[in-house]
Structure 1
């Protein structure tokens, strides 16, 4: 009897425990049923957004700056033809001289003495030749004897011409009208053919020499005007193309061009360094894109195009550039959409979106 009583009392506790567990279990199941699965889009990676540029053609005038040198129309170093001691020096430093002006005179007393000796011999030879001619007319001598006397006259005349030429070489004269530079010797100095007495420049017409890269050689024309500046002056001067070399220099792959300076200004000096500005004919259908849109590669250059929501890498050839834009000569056409941001993180054929369009 006692056993049954304890069992009857314990039954309600067990039932209560089971009921509580059932309620908790049902609640948990209800919570699991209430939770909805996360949408599939939330699990996908977000598509990166980039800025883009729409390619358009426009007129573009290309210009480049190249180094140049101002030169005189004529320039030469005044040097003697023979060795000797200077007895007279007439170098007016920094002054203009006319063609034929005597610059320097070398010692020629020995040559003058030889000339006088030959002149005396010529007088005697002429007298003998006249006598021989008279004797020949009366057949007093043979024709061979007369020819010998005439030959002697001609030989002495030739020797006199040689001496006079040697004397002329002792006189150093200006080869053309020009401006003398600084003299490098003093009176009494012994000079040789390698000695430079002074430099003379013909500065009434100055020229401009400059080099053009090989790719622009076809755009250089005779009579084309170019502009240049040089240190020491803020003015812009003009020069007209005269001629160019017949071939491109192999070492530098450039063409040497010569132009005649149109302005005459005393501040322009031969030998001065010049910055030459070349402006070429405009291209009405040039393609320009932002400079940062070009991706350098080990072999060539690429740009990223936006095509149907994906990134497409294409090879391009470039031309001139400035601080903002670069010219594309091959690889793009009008209407293409070029990616200009996020270039390092964009992979070929990757999905991308447009954040905004950058205007040209």
Structure 2
């Protein structure tokens, strides 16, 4: 028993002595590890020992354009579904589908034989009445008849003339004519069918010029007016087209808070067809000799926006006030000066006063 106790005490003593001897080495190892972590942290933060690499952007005076981007549709200059003004049997169709017609061209005809017969009857009556009126007028000039007798014949003649004009108007209603130059579509009725005033015969479309209808935000209501130029592009078309605004809706749409605008495109060669989707761009204004910076360089915060500039090898935090925005750039009204070098990369690693090394340097060329 005593031997076991001595053995245990001996082992404990040896372990204590070994710990005392190894303790300085353990402390030194932990200290080395902490220093390594500190150096790594310093390198990540761009300390004096290891600068942060970033791209520089030299600010020079530039011109910025305020643009509106919208979507719209091409619509015909004129479009109408043609129908007869009266009912009857269709006795003639005089147009070919998809062909061009002129203003006043006869497109279709309803049976008007009963009306034509009535017209012949009235014309014969008118001829006899005109002869009576002529004889009565001669007698009146010689005071052979009273004024009352002559007035009765003259009134009868005027009544016949009115009836003839009414009948001719009814005959005109049996003819369907083109109200303007354009292209007819597909006919919706055949010869021999009975047509009413509700029966659609054909659609007539005028595609030269074309209208472009689009919407703009209500805040731009006072800046877009007739004559304002726009440009638009279409899917599958390699080039952009230009047009001019000719009308602006006077009312703001309550649901979308936008204003509908229409522009006119000549479409002289009729290369564009109505109904196509259009991406519209309108240039509202141009600001000259201003400061514009890339959007990615701006850091938004609760207190406002800030950027970092490169000065004497270090990053300096600058508060800015912004103005006009475009797709890729922002106008800076206060905070930066021409000639400043803006830092545009490594934004998350930048801190006030850390060492920075420029790996690229570009000059603002936005027009």
> Relative to structure 1, is the Cα distance of residues 314 and 333 closer, same or farther in structure 2, using a 3 angstrom cutoff?
closer
The residue aligned with 1:38 is none
Q: Separation in 1 of the partners of 2:243 and 2:188?
A: 35
Q: Which whole-Å CA distance do the structure 2 matches of 1:157 and 1:170 have between them? A: 20
Could you say if the C-alpha distance between residues 315 and 48 of structure 1 is closer, same or farther in structure 2, counting changes exceeding 3 Å? Answer: farther
Q: Verify: 1:211 aligned to 2:217, yes or no.
A: no
3-state DSSP of counterpart to 2:326: strand
Equivalent residue, structure 2, for 1:95: 99
User: Residue 200 of structure 2 aligns with which residue?
Assistant: 196
Q: Corresponding residue for 2:132?
A: 128
Out of 125-134 and 169-178, give the one that drifted further: 125-134
- Distance in 1 separating the partners of 2:122 and 2:268: 55
Change (3 A) 1:319 1:355: same
TM-score (norm 2): 0.67
Q: Within the alignment, does 1:316 sit opposite 2:317 as a pair?
A: no
* Change in 2 beyond 3 A, CA 1:333/1:77: farther
Q: Is the 8 A contact 1:55 1:289 kept in 2?
A: no
Pair 1:98–1:221, CA change in 2 (3 A) = closer
The change in CA–CA distance for 1:131 and 1:162 in structure 2 (over 3 A counts) is same
SS at 1:321's partner residue? coil
Residue among 241, 248, 252 paired with 2:244: 241
CA offsets 1:288-336 (integer angstroms, 9 cap, x no match)? 33333334568x96235579987565553451123xxx21354543266
> Does residue 291 of the first structure (1) align with residue 292 of the second (2)?
no
1:206 aligned counterpart, secondary structure: strand
Output one character per residue of 1:189-215: Cα deviation in whole Å (capped at 9) or x when no partner: 333333332122334x33241436354
Aligned residues: 306
Q: 1:107 to 1:144 in 2, by over 3 A?
A: same
Structure 1 residues 123 and 229: CA distance shift in structure 2, 3 A: same
Structure 2 counterpart SS, 1:145? helix
Give the drift of 1:359.
3.7
Report which stretch shifted further, 138-147 or 273-282: 273-282
**In structure 2, what is the Cα distance between the partners aligned to 1:237 and 1:339?**
35
Q: In structure 1, how many angstroms separate the alpha carbons of the residues matched to 2:315 and 2:349?
A: 16
- Residues 1:329 and 1:244: Cα distance change in structure 2 (over 3 Å): farther
Q: Is the 2:106–2:176 Cα contact (8 Å) retained in structure 1?
A: yes
**Structure 2 residue corresponding to 1:327, chosen from 316, 330, 334:** 330
Deviations 1:324-355 (A, max 9, x none): xx213545432667676787799xxx855243
The question of 1:78 aligning with 2:82 is answered yes
Partner of 2:13: none
For residues 342 and 208 of structure 1, what CA distance do their matches in structure 2 show? 48
Question: 2:234: which partner in 1?
Answer: 230
Distance apart, 1:65 and its partner CA: 4.6
Mark the CA change 1:185 to 1:237 in structure 2 (over 3 Å): closer, same or farther.
Answer: farther
Q: What CA deviation, in whole Å up to 9, does each residue of 1:125-176 have, x standing for no partner? A: 2233233224323433211111111011001101100110111111111123
Listed as ranges, the gaps of 5+ residues in structure 1 are 1-41
In structure 1, distance between residues paired with 2:183 and 2:341: 63
* Cα pair 1:67 1:275 within 8 Å, conserved: yes
CA-CA distance at 1:260 after TM superposition: 2.5
Q: Is the 8 A contact 2:59 2:341 kept in 1?
A: no
Alpha-carbon RMSD across the aligned residues, in angstroms, is: 3.9
CA–CA distance in 1 between the matches of 2:174 and 2:320? 74
Task: Identify which range, 78-87 or 65-74, moves more after superposition.
Answer: 65-74
Match of 1:14 in 2: none
1:186 match: 190
Task: Please give the alpha-carbon distance, in whole angstroms, between the structure 2 residues aligned to 1:183 and 1:135.
Answer: 60
| In 2, Cα distance between equivalents of 1:211 and 1:110 | 51
- The runs of 5 or more residues in structure 2 that have no matched partner are 1-37, 47-51, 363-367
Indicate conservation of the 8 Å contact 2:306/2:317, yes or no. Answer: no
Contact 1:125 1:149 in 2 (8 A): yes
